[in-house]
A and B are shown apart, each in its own frame.
Chain A
Amino acid sequence: MGLLSDPEYGSVKWVKVLKKINFPLCCLCYVGSILWFFTLAHPEFNNETYFSENALLPGLVRNEFNGEHSANKFFNEFIQELEDKYEDSNEMPVDWLVAKMSQLSLEVYTHNFSLNYPFGQGQTYKGTNVYGILRAPRTSSLEALVVTAPYRSLSNHQKGTAAGIALMLAFAQFARPQNYWAKDIIFLITEHEQLGMQAWLEAYHGLQQETSTFYTSLGSFWQTGFDFGKPPQIFEWLMTDHSKSLDPGVLKGRSGSIQAAINLEFHTPKFKYIEVKVEGLNGQLPNLDLVNLAHKLCVLSDIHHSYQNSFTWLRSRNNIDEWVYSIGTMLKMSAAQVTGVPNGNHGLFLPFGIDAITLEGRELNDPAGDPPRAQYLSTRNFYLLGITLERVLRSLNNLLERFHQSYFFYMLAATNRYISIGQYMPSLCLLCGAMLTRALCLWVTIQQDEEIEKRQDEKDKGLKEKKSEEILENTEEKADSEEKEPLIKDVIKPKEDVINTKEDEIKTNEEVVMAKEDEINAKKAAIKAKNDEIETKNGADLNISIVNVGCNYFLVHILGYAANCSPEYFNYIGTTYFDQTPEASIFYGLIALSVFYLFVTPFAFRFPTFEDLSMTNILLLIELATACLAIGMHNFPLGLLIAVLYTPLALLVGVVGDDCRKRSAIVLFLKRILCIILQPLFVVSIALILYSWVLFPEEGVLSKMSRGRDATMQGVMFSVVDSVIYGNWLFQVVTMVIFPTWILFWQILCNRVTY
């Protein structure tokens, strides 16, 4: 056995120290991590953004955009068209767009897609995207840029995007006669917001619902060739695969591989400032160079721009003010990333390896809220916007390689400040480090206990053969100390080292060559004795039942997987038997499931011993820490949030002993309360109820609660639907990682064992 399982090391100094300071150390890590996170917002601790990719050459070209007039014309015509013909319909004016794009000599195509709503009774939604391709001269359509705008009808509760579409058309008109394009430009107008975008991207990359071309053939790489035949009729409903609810249809025209995409959301031609939106699906971010490009070119074009809580016209000399704004920006960015829901159509490009951003025009009384002093900003128009778009696209046109130079993992503290992955990761690592330290400490403790037991046994035995035992131990210890000297130098103080070596020297001096034979004999005996000892120890002292722990662990994760698969069935049951909406049936179903797990899971662990539970605790801590780190690598705010929420619980939860003193009973009760509060569904509900508390402060308590409940229902539903349609993995993470860990915590807190 090595260092971590060596029965001797319980007495080593660092183990003692660790056991003494582990709790304060972990608490320190926790506080340190949070402090670290907030310190990052301070200008001293983050960096100014810069262009890493030299080929972008931003702002070097002379602007030629002159389409302000035509943009206004397109805008008025479009609004007129909508008011005349599409006043009360949600349909997109496909014909009008096709006609306009054809007149601009673009290659125009339409793209039909449909959605079989996964949680309805076979409802199907249909939509149409329109796109026109500007073929770059002298290229064989190998690369493309995408300019896109979502279509929103007049009756839509969201801000319209008519100005964005008008600008796109005007820009297409301007760009078509230009000779310098090295990449095709695809002008795309999508219907049904993100659904249309997702369908278009899937169709562009050949992911089809009919497994006719890509999937089947792709499958030949990994399918083993087994054919299970058709499932029987009963299983048909169970086997229905809802993962392909979106039928992306087929594209009739294509260009090459897409390098970058710009999404335009402009409601009116007169706007105050531009918000650059970056957060994508699952918290993915576009390359920092692209984000910089948008910000820097806005500065060059004299357009006010903002990112979350950072507004370019509010620059203060005061570092503390800056800090506060930056913290706001970081928190808002984190909030946007945690849900994993893209905050614009750009976010769906990112999983396909395409960098994309959204430019959103904001005016006064925007739904997103008015930033300070926005009313004093002068209004910007199509001309400046067109120039910005021209600059951005010509910079992208210069790109020889795909975006790869700059950061893909970063946080933005302001429009021009960033925090790289190397700077923010320590804050998550500290949290995970706290959990791992706790795991190590627990491991050391069970080892130690075994050690104590072993020692006691030895003493009992030792009474009989004290003398021989002493010799044995001496030699053993000597051998051990000899072996350990080079290995655990860091831990043992040099002084001790010196003493040991001195002792050894003396011993070696004492033992003359003539006595060597005796020593060998003694050593042989010692080894024999030691081997026997280990055997007896293995037989009697090890109380950890691998089967018990493993089975429980496996079972709990299966339960998590069951929770992940459950919405479909809850929806089926709720809608057919209880006549509920899908939202309600899934929400109440999940609540029922949670309550069921709450009462059942503590009994899942059969005949737990102290060691079993400790072992489970250790595994659980390691799993949680690893999961947080892994999630944090992808989606830092989500990983951090999980770690921040669950580290306190992880540090407090310990195996509960049988001794029922009053104080410890109260503590245990409080721990259990904390654990229940941290139940994932409960956390979400509390968070959303608090949010509705903030949003609607004027309403009564009950109505606030019901609003919160509705919000939770919607939130859960969205996360389920998003995971099915777009591949958002928040729901999977929560049900398959967080939920099982929570169950394990609960099990540990609810089982009492004797030491």
Chain B
Amino acid sequence: MKFQIEDVTVYFPYDHIYPEQYSYMIELKRALDAKGHCLLEMPTGTGKTIALLSLITSYSLSKPQSPIKLIYCTRTVHEMEKTLAELKLLHNYQIKHLGPQARILAIGLSSRKNLCVNPTVLAAENRDSVDAGCRKLTASWVRAMAAENPNVPTCQFFENYEKAASAAVLPPGVYTLQDLRAFGKEKGWCPYFLARHMVQFANVVVYSYQYLLDPKVAGIISKEMQKESVVIFDEAHNIDNVCIEALSVSVRRQTLEGATRNLNRISHEIDRFKATDASRLRAEYNRLVEGLALRGNLPITDNWLSNPALPDDILKEAVPGNIRRAEHFLHVLRRLVQYLRGRLETENVEKESPVGFVASISSHAGIDQKALKFCYDRLHSLMLTLEITDTDEFLHIQTICDFATLVGTYGRGFSIIIEPFDERMPHIPDPVLQLSCHDASLAIKPVFDRFQSVVITSGTLSPIDLYPRLLNFHPVVSRSFTMSLTRDCICPMVLTRGSDQLPVSTKFDMRSDPGVVRNYGKLLLEMVSVVPDGIVCFFVSYSYMDGIINTWNDTGILKEIMQHKLVFIETQDVVETTLALDNYRRACDCGRGAVFFSVARGKVAEGIDFDRHYGRLVIMFGVPFQYTLSKILMARLEYLRDTFQIKEGDFLTFDALRQAAQCVGRVIRSKADYGMMIFADKSAGRESLASF
């Protein structure tokens, strides 16, 4: 359908529209007109994504003189694919009604792992080895060597792409990752570098949060985005956590051991270069004297992860003299590793501010703050000089340098916490030193500053006034929409007692009570025998889920459940979980019916939809509160209280509720959908229902 919102003709690919979608679009348009940021909450199952896409594309179609670019950030790759599929639908509709002038270029961007088509590189197991595998074939010095020696392997797809030079462009259209791969295969061009190149020209770019928020990635991918862009963070209820994680580093024993190995290897390389090609090291030294480590004019393939600190906080000056020489820098790093090892040998939990930590490094290891700050850049430069391609082997030393740079750069908003073991498993010594960021507004600040409109939207953003405080920004529009229901398509329930009248709860003192476990089992058993198709269960943690499943298995409850439905379980192995999910859907498709056991803060709860027959019932076994004794959480709560005047209890309840709402919200996709929700915990009060 086609309709008018003020001066904009909106093209909407469906015949009907929900009223809340319409008002959502109006608010969104206000924000675009005001060139300001906005915060919009609309429940899941009301078609947020399509409303967003259709308004923004229509908006830029109606103002051809000043086209705006849409940067759409999703949390996960499959949400990216879904967004692009919806955009495709919309694009086809617009082309049908407007003809060729509606053509746009929309691409999804992901890592090499998801875009590479070179079979030898793709054979690698994880992302970092794929990255390294690619670099081994495409780094500038490798290609230079291959030009002289035809026996040096290179990547045919990249060579073809380079040869095509400026002719290598994507014709307008909507490209999912799969489409990009297919296009690359057909043309023989590398889809990854093609997509990286096309990001500058595309009207719509869909990628993951981190490509904008995490300075390590944003520094290489999103450097050149224009200011006239609309940035959307979809499903953004967890955005503060993403921001915090982007600036946090943790160091463990394994990291230090790996870093020591890396340093030995670097030292060998330096010796080798000294013997064969000393001029290179000298050239690097001279370059460092002149200014910053070379940046910007690097070939696209030589880029590695970027500086972990935010662009504004990076000093634009020369690397300090004491780490300019490769050997000196190596010594500094060795001393740093030695110091950190000493700090890890603690028996008590220690908490320190970055300022104090830097002072302590300075007095014990003789490394001053400025040297720490330049660790990342210096390492990067050294590795390029040494022509190291297997970057995946050097992640440990990179972690150390990231840590050093962050500690050297930021004085507040962070704390350093050293724990000798996990609170919950005191018998296993596993010391960890964590640099944890408490201030979510740090990482997102450059995004708010750089782009004209930033839209933060999700199904659950309540209380909506908390987000501007957490992220420290001033939205021009901040609205929360409620869903208008034409019928009772959801049925929320709170269960506080089992069938034997014993209270059920996952509170720490009660959760392993056999009565609670049995009551939970009975509840599920009764549900599987009456609810058709798919059922999803969320537990508060993996360890609790494992325990409860084992108990059910021993007592035979699991066997009885299996008589009604197939059982699938989320595990910490992503591949296995993905396959289990795929099978779960198949079982629901064929009518066999299945139960999926999942974890409230796990990956499945974050991003997988259990809509329609994939989820007719969702059971929350307990309320997913964070582990409140965690030192990091305590430090963060303290910071929030002191800086933003947010009470601890408020934040914890808010966090648990958004998780719970997120879990149960997975079952509704549209108003034609229906489902039932059970909160099985005595402390799940009325308030949790208020969110529906």
Pairing of A with B: no
Where the two chains meet, the residues of B that have a C-beta atom closer than 8 Å to any C-beta of A are none
Where the two chains meet, the residues of A that have a C-beta atom closer than 8 Å to any C-beta of B are none
